[in-house]
Amino acid sequence: MKKIIGEVQKFAKRVRGAQSLRGIQSTLMLTFTTLSLVIAIVLGVIFYNRFQNASTEYRTVTTRTVMEQTGENLENYLAGMCRISDTASYDVISENEIGDTELSKELYLLYEANTDSVRSIALYSDTGRLLAAAPVANEKTNAEVKRQPWFKAAIGEMENFHFSTPHIQNLFSDDSTRYNWVISLSRTVDTTDQGTPGQGVLLVDMNYTGIDRMMEQINDSTGPQYYYLAAPDGQIIYHPDSMQIYEGITSENSVKEASHADGIYHETYHGEKRTVFVRTISYTGWKLISVIPERAMILGTVSNTLFILLFILLTLMMVLIVNRFAARHISKPILALSDSVQNFEAGKGADIYIGGSPEIRHLGLSIQRSYDEIEHLMQQIVEEQNIRRKSEMDALQSQINPHFLYNTLDSITWMVEGGKNEEASYMISQLARLLRISLSKGRNIISIEDEIRHAKSYMNIQKVRYKDSFAVTFDVPEELMQYCTVKLVIQPLLENAIYYGVEGMDGEGEIRIFGEMKEQTIRIHVQDNGIGMPEDMVENLLTGDEKVHKRGSGVGLVNVNCRLQMAFGEEYGLKIISEPDEGTDVMILLPAIPYNEENRKLLEQGKFPPETTVGKELR
């Protein structure tokens, strides 16, 4: 688990790193993508609404068309029944006497001509007695015609046609066990019975199957949408789920919907939103009703929604690809410029990227010029610093020579005047060697060997001057001889050892010069057994404090320490250990830099040789 978290964190870090490096590219891509996404979504929503509206409009138009056609078909069907009733009334019944065989014959002919749509034609007296019927059949004994709704309706309103709702015909019996569903068209008619005018009720029973088939056709493959037919009071005439309604499995809002005038209505029934189309059928006042549940609309729009989602996703994919290329194209020269500047700053390269668009090219050129100028100025500053350092070094070194030279020449003069020519000659030869090393062709860095030789010459001179009143021993190992040192650093220490250490001692003074190397640092000790110094004086010796009393050549320890640090760095220079009445040990700390021409030149310029690992802070 920890490993996974670690990997995730590493990945996130890498992403953050990449993001910070590619900030411009990310910003450009994010901006382009967001903009494109917003546009795609807005377009998607617009398309969706447009599809939705078009789909609703199409369904509305289709439904209206179906309802108009079906309404007209139903009206034609009913009108046809009215025509049959009219024919029976005016051309058959009015023209024949009750009981005439012609009456039954003509009724039968009329029935035969319309057998597809007509189940039976019957004429009853106003008392409910069967007067004639086609086809001829036995009347059921329990028919009770006067109690039948169609009979009561005809007697109740004599001027009108009366259409019943669908019902089982329950008038005639035959051998068949079938029960026929019919719609009864009844009306009062004028009759003549043996010359006496009277009134009767004409019944034309239409096959319900005609309407049933017509409605089934329009309900075929409509999905959740359906059409039904209801009487004005809401009684269902046809419904695709009539049995389910009867069984209580489902229900229909037919009473409310049948009460509507023609038009489109929105309602919520049993928690479902639905759109209802209503059209009134002529002759009967029946209502042809189409119900479109909301889920029918949703079903139609699911594929549209999927399509629009697909459109948005594909657009997004394309936009991401295009954006990535566009963002890379724009940001590439900027990133190249940024990388080159970073490399320059890290010292990995000096070339600034020049390329891309004119603006980026101009920027690159400007940066390149600025860096060139900065580098030039820096070189100038370094050179100036070197010159100043050299000047300071020269100034410090120049403090050595006059004082010492004056004293030595004074000693030689005394020797010559005292007839000590041999000693004078020795002194002059030592002085010559000393001066030769001091000059060193103007070099500041010399080998330790030369420096020791210089120190020896100096001490030889001083020993003559001080008549061997102190002992001197040089014990610097041969392997240290070929390392670099700043010239004339031991001689001032020897001078101090003589003046403040061993001069005027009761016993024999001893000055010991020895060297060692520890951890790539060379230590050259100038040790005396003189009077030593208290600790507070030791602490102030290297500070350059003017209050500290100094004697001798005037070239103090500060001078030597300063020159060493200028050449090798702050961690090098002098280190002094002294005990009063015990003596003093002054250490010269040097980096172990092999002496050769190349290293010497670099050190002269204030630089360290490349392979040297110490003292780099000098640069």
Binding-site ranges for other proteins (CB under 8 A): 11, 14-15, 17-19, 21-22, 25-26, 140-142, 167-168, 170, 173, 177-179, 181, 241-244, 246-247, 249, 302-303, 306-307, 309-310, 313-314, 316-317, 320-321, 324
| Residue reference for tokens 């068209």 | 185
CB nearer other proteins, residue 11 or residue 406: 11
In the block, residue with structure tokens 């017509």: 214
Between 267 and 339, name the residue whose CB sits nearer to other proteins. 339
By C-beta, is 178 or 441 nearer to other proteins?
A: 178
- For other proteins, the closer of residues 152 and 403 by Cβ is 152
Rounded to the nearest whole angstrom, what is the least distance from the CB of residue 63 to other proteins in the complex? 20
Residue among 315 and 407 whose Cβ is closer to other proteins: 315
What is the closest distance, in whole angstroms, from the C-beta atom of residue 176 to other proteins in the complex?
Answer: 8
514 DSSP β-pair partners: 475, 525
Min dist CB 145 to other proteins, Å, is 13
Query: Do residues 438 and 401 lie in contact, with contact meaning Cβ atoms separated by under 8 Å?
Result: yes
| Rounded distance between C-alpha atoms, residue 558 and residue 547, angstroms | 13
Nearer to other proteins, 261 or 302 (CB): 302
* Smallest distance from other proteins to CB 600, Å: 47
Cβ proximity to other proteins: between 175 and 422 the closer is 175
- The residue (of 164 and 584) whose beta carbon lies closer to other proteins is 164
Cα separation values, 182 from 8, 133, 150, 554, Å: 79, 16, 12, 145
Treating both helix axes as pointing N-terminal to C-terminal, what angle do 400-417 and 421-439 enclose, rounded to 10 degrees? 170
CB of 364 to other proteins, least distance (A): 21
The torsion angle over the Cα atoms of residues 25, 27, 30 and 36, rounded to 10 degrees, is -90
Work out the burial of residue 584: count CB atoms within 10 Å of its CB; fewer than 13 is exposed, 13-18 middle, 19 or more buried: buried
Residue (26 or 386) nearer to other proteins, CB:
26
As measured in angstroms, the least distance from the Cβ of 224 to other proteins is: 10
Please name the residues in contact with 224: beta carbons below 8 A apart, sequence gap of 6 or more.
292, 293, 295, 296, 299
Which alpha helices (H) appear in 87-148, and where do they start and end? 101-113
CA 225 to chain centre: 46
CA dihedral 611, 613, 618, 619 (to 10 degrees): 50
Alpha-carbon distance of 63 to 278, in angstroms, equals 10
> Shortest approach of other proteins to residue 129 CB, angstroms?
20
Smallest separation, CB 303 to other proteins (Å): 6
CB of 173 to other proteins, least distance (A): 6
Residue 212: its H or E element: helix 208-218
Place of tokens 């075929």: 220
Shortest distance, position 488 Cβ to other proteins, whole Å: 59
* Close Cβ partners of 193 (under 8 Å, ≥ 6 residues apart): 97, 98, 99
User: By C-beta, is 138 or 366 nearer to other proteins?
Assistant: 138
Task: Enter the tokens of residue 420.
Answer: 């000590």
Q: How many CB atoms lie within 10 A of CB 172?
A: 19
Give the burial string for 544-571 (b: 16+ CB within 10 Å, else e).
eeeebebeebebbbbbbbbbbbbbbbee
CA dist., res. 182 & res. 117, Å (int) = 10
Q: How far is the CB of 12 from other proteins (least distance, A)?
A: 9
DSSP symbol at 352: P
CB of 245 to other proteins, least distance (A): 9
Q: Alpha-carbon distance 530 to 508, whole Å?
A: 9
Nearest Cα to Cα of residue 487 among 560, 392, 408: 560
Nearer to other proteins, 2 or 147 (CB): 147
Q: Which residue's CB is nearer to other proteins, number 181 or number 514? A: 181
